[in-house]
Amino acid sequence: ESRYNPANIEAQWQHTWAAHQLYKTPEESSKPKFYALSMFPYPSGNLHMGHVRVYTIVDVMARLKRMQGYRVLNPMGWDAFGLPAENAAIERNTQPAKWTYQNIDQMRDQLKQLGISFDWDREIATCSPEYYRWTQWIFLEFFKAGLAYQKEATVNWDPIDQTVLANEQVDAEGKSWRSGAIVERKLLRQWFLKITDYADQLLDDLNKLTGWPERVKLMQANWIGKSVGAYLEFPIVGMDEKVGVFTTRPDTVYGVSYLVLAPEHPLTQKVTTSDPSEPDGASRISAVEAFVQEVSTQTELERTAEDKPKRGIPTGGTAINPFTGEEIPIWIADYVLYEYGTGAVMGVPAHDVRDFQFAKQQNLPIKVVIMPPDQPTVSDLQAAYTDVGTIVNSGEFDGMVSTEAKGAIVAYAEKQGWGKARIQYRLRDWLISRQRYWGAPIPIIHCPNCGAVPVPESDLPVRLPEDVELSGRGGSPLGKLESWLNVPCPSCGTPAKRETDTMDTFIDSSWYFLRYPDANNDQAIFDRGKTNNWMPVDQYVGGIEHAILHLLYSRFFTKVLRDCNLLAFDEPFKRLLTQGMVQGRTYKNPTTGKYVLPTQIKDPANPIDPDTGETLEVVFEKMSKSKHNGVAPGDVIDKYGADTARMFILFKAPPEKDLEWEDADVEGQFRFLNRVWRLVTESAAFLKTTESQDLTKSEKELRRVIHTAIKEVTEDLQGDYQFNTAVSELMKLSNALGDFAEKSSPVFAEGLNTLLLLLAPFSPHITEELWRTIGQSESIHTQAFPTVDPTALVADEKTIVIQIMGKTRGTIEAATAIADDKTALEKFATESEVARRYINGKEIRKIIVVPGKLVNFVTA
Ligand code: ANZ
Ligand code: ZN
């Protein structure tokens, strides 16, 4: 074969590798391990460029480590439960399982075409009973440990279809995706996992994650949201009850001018007065009720946005500030959230931005209790003063620095029984109940006598019934299947009912990486020895969109299973790489914002809107259907082959940066591979593998280039995985080999071998083919990665610049030993032709020598 034609070699090598089980995970433990993991895809049916990017990145890492002598685990699976399958089933009148497995088959084929070195024997699909059996088993472990519990929570309720909706099924206007009805909020009993028990560990252990991007750790820390402050109680006037608040600013307690309850707070109704002798007493109850109702339709974001006006009304009730003895009004307002802290706040308008805004609006008193250091009086406060300062108007605490007053005031409150120090987390328990079909059933049976009873382990999995009727209406489909629903209580035998909720799909993905080390175990979730041996994952690669939830939940599961004595480590992922987006070229109308189809563009250099005649903006944006800027992986493979697609993706941008898809650069990589092809096929006949004794100058120079390439590529692939610069090095080496005249030199053979070996992790097919072309019989992917010969890196001779009176007159070649020695170089240079010619017999006043570089003669 003389011409490079990827179609002729790629599929063939993929089959051969599979037949020889080249990427089977080795179990022997004499080698160091490397667990490479890519976030597994949702089987939507088609691979997109984002997938191609992650799996290519991970594949290079896995192939490199194999060649460097590691035993490598590089598995793949499918995050296969979830809503889209259910929607597709409704739309296409099929079953979610059927739709999902078809998609999996299609995407597996597409992945195989990329030549990724996955160990397919360990493939998992979270929707298979063999997998979700263990998801259910884990749920029961949580349940036994008291980490799974039920409580009431609000859900999205479609009043027309009579069903619960996922957040994704509610549009921006708060309407149902199917019925178009205004979605209501409804309280339902739901299952939660107690992630808050692990908040501290999840926060503290971020420090252990030295191989994670800082910004991901920061996002997780913010999500956990630890606040240090105090819990303080305010007795309600005329009632034997107190309003408890959480505050991060106990130092401002003398400045409290009102309390605010979240409208949903249980005390709201109790404190609302209806004394008809008051001016608005009679109507107050209905006004409060109306307000509560109104707020219940708002999202959290709408309620808390800084720029939105705060809304609220007084309840008529009052409380006492125990510190001052003052009576203060109790309000309800939308900006106080029921789910955070105690669902009640002490209003300090002088020192809190939102309270200030609210007090101004409602004409509530504003009392300054902290003075800015450089300002002795405050007359008319223009904005809340939120910084550190000196305490005033606060009794015995006056004069203290506010940061110190915090501790003193909390200590005092504790002594008086008014409150105590408290740490509050923003993190809430994880609501895992889904009123949907396509998920793992929660393995619980509800008995009228015994309550929630776990399904016995021997009865797992609780199988999802097949052939259900999905309509998207009238509640959970599982609730309608009487034969599935009704079972005897495992504990007392009384007729009981199965739990009909399924689990959030984030649960499936919170432990899948623990299953790969022992993916086919049908006796246990995994063999502890095997999982502890492979875990933690050495390198995890995936999208930044998973920076918070997936990674946090996976860390949470790891810690719980460790506490169940299943795991011997604290953190699942040692290193994390979040790859950038793949962006495509869009043609955007600047006035309408509309994206024009690329096929409608006549001249890409001067793109014009065919409808309006306007000049279009060319911008790169994340590939998507709506922007008409997607590039299908299959098309690229058909045209150029998988190796070119991989090379382009690796070369175009560092892995964590966004990548702009440019056809010209794809062509560039295709040409590069063609050059390598020609270089090898045209010189294969001359290749000599003998050791050479005395190298010529140009042979020595080529060896230096070869070993510099090894050094650079190895360094680029270590640590930061700078694939793009590694590819540039390979191009340099290939050029040097192309320029090298003596193709029969053993150094040239060494160069070709090295080029193919270095290129193998990037372009597995062409390198395998060419490796055989030069007479090798074993796969290139089982060879050792080249290592540097340090002696080859040192140049034998150095070029020294000769100057006369600072003016360059020529250069000389000096042996390295001479060039680097000051005295020897001075002598060598003085005797050189160039120096003698230009000095021309004149007296030498001074010789300035820079070893390894330059000699300057100062003459009379
Ligand atoms: C009085 C005060 C005075 C406050 C002051 C701040 C500044 P983070 O850091 O987010 O924990 N807060 C407490 N619970 C709330 C709830 N359920 N909804 C809305 N706001 C709530 O913030 C804690 C602060 O947020 C608390 O401290 C409280 O206002 C408010 F000069 O108490 B502060
Ligand atoms: Zn029972």
* Residue 104's CATH number: 3.40.50.620
The 8-class DSSP code of residue 686 comes to G
336 CB under 6 A from ligand 1?
yes
**525-578 pLDDT tens trace:** 999 999 999 999 999 999 998 999 999 999 999 999 999 999 999 999 999 999
Instruction: Assess if residue 540 is contained within a domain.
Output: yes
Which of 406, 425, 444 delimits the end of a domain?
Answer: 425
* Residue 311's CATH number: 3.90.740.10
259 CB-side CA count, 13 A? 34
**135-164 pLDDT tens trace:** 999 999 999 999 999 999 888 888 888 888
| Structural domain range at position 363 | 226-425
Residue 233 and residue 118 share a domain: no
Instruction: Assess if residue 381 is contained within a domain.
Output: yes
State mean pLDDT over 319-333: 97
* Cα 288 → chain centroid: 43
Q: For tokens 């979240």, name the residue.
A: 262
Tell whether ipTM is more than 0.90.
yes
Residue 284 and residue 268 share a domain: yes
Cα(143) to ligand 2 centroid in Å equals 17
pTM: 0.87
* Residue 587's CATH number: 2.20.28
Residue 280 predicted with pLDDT over 80: no
Residue 599 has a pLDDT of: 87
Residue 281 predicted with pLDDT over 60: no
Residue 812 and residue 786 share a domain: no
Residue 282 has a pLDDT of: 62
Residue 622 and residue 526 share a domain: no
Residue 786 and residue 818 share a domain: no
Instruction: Assess if residue 478 is contained within a domain.
Output: no
Residue 738 and residue 692 share a domain: yes
Ligand 1 test: best mutation among 249, 261, 300, 422, most atoms within 8 Å of CB? 249
Residue 242 has a pLDDT of: 97
Ligand 1 test: best mutation among 251, 264, 340, most atoms within 8 Å of CB? 340
- Mean pLDDT across the chain, nearest whole number? 93
Q: What percent of the chain has pLDDT over 90?
A: 76
Q: Using CA atoms, how far apart are residues 802 and 312, in angstroms rounded to an integer?
A: 85
Residue 847 and residue 705 share a domain: no
Q: Report which protein residue has its CA nearest ligand 1's atom 8.
A: 227
Cα(487) to ligand 2 centroid in Å equals 11
165 CB under 6 A from ligand 1?
no
Cα(50) to ligand 2 centroid in Å equals 50
Name the residue among 209, 316, 138, 855 with its Cα closest to residue 551: 209
246 CB under 6 A from ligand 1?
yes
Ligand nearest to the CA of 384: 1
Which of 772, 793, 814 delimits the end of a domain?
Answer: 793
Residue ranges in 156-276 assigned as alpha helix (H):
199-204, 214-224, 267-271
Residue 574 and residue 589 share a domain: no
Q: Is 808 helix (H, G, I), strand (E, B) or coil?
A: strand
Residue 278 predicted with pLDDT over 80: no
Instruction: Assess if residue 466 is contained within a domain.
Output: no
Instruction: Assess if residue 35 is contained within a domain.
Output: yes
Nearest atom within ligand 1 for CA of residue 341: 14
Instruction: Assess if residue 644 is contained within a domain.
Output: no
Tokens matching residue 239: 């009632």
Q: Using CA atoms, how far apart are residues 667 and 159, in angstroms rounded to an integer?
A: 56
Name the residue among 375, 430, 384, 683 with its Cα closest to residue 556: 430
558 CB under 6 A from ligand 1?
no
**How many domains does the chain contain in total?**
5
Instruction: Assess if residue 47 is contained within a domain.
Output: yes
Min mean pLDDT across 136-145, 166-175, 197-206 is at 166-175
Residue 708 and residue 560 share a domain: no
Residue 603 and residue 538 share a domain: no
Q: Kindly indicate the confidence band of residue 476, based on its pLDDT and cuts at 50, 70 and 90.
A: confident
Residue 321 and residue 234 share a domain: yes
Q: Report which protein residue has its CA nearest ligand 1's atom 10.
A: 227
Min mean pLDDT across 83-87, 358-362, 768-772 is at 83-87
264 CB under 6 A from ligand 1?
no
249 CB under 6 A from ligand 1?
yes
Which of 630, 663, 698 delimits the end of a domain?
Answer: 630
Q: Using CA atoms, how far apart are residues 843 and 94, in angstroms rounded to an integer?
A: 99
Tokens matching residue 114: 């990329």
Cα(547) to ligand 1 centroid in Å equals 26
* Residue 851's CATH number: 3.10.20.590
Instruction: Assess if residue 462 is contained within a domain.
Output: no
Give ∠ CA 496-500-505 in degrees, rounded to 5: 145
Q: Report which protein residue has its CA nearest ligand 1's atom 20.
A: 336
Residue 268 predicted with pLDDT over 60: yes
Is-contact 322 416, C-beta < 8 A? Answer: yes
Q: Kindly indicate the confidence band of residue 817, based on its pLDDT and cuts at 50, 70 and 90.
A: confident
Q: Using CA atoms, how far apart are residues 631 and 629, in angstroms rounded to an integer?
A: 7
Name the residue among 364, 256, 263, 353 with its Cα closest to residue 315: 263
525 conformational bin, left if phi > 0, alpha if psi -120 to 50, beta if neither:
alpha
Residue 276 predicted with pLDDT over 60: no
Residue 176 predicted with pLDDT over 90: no
State mean pLDDT over 5-30: 94
Residue 114 and residue 49 share a domain: yes
State mean pLDDT over 781-789: 96
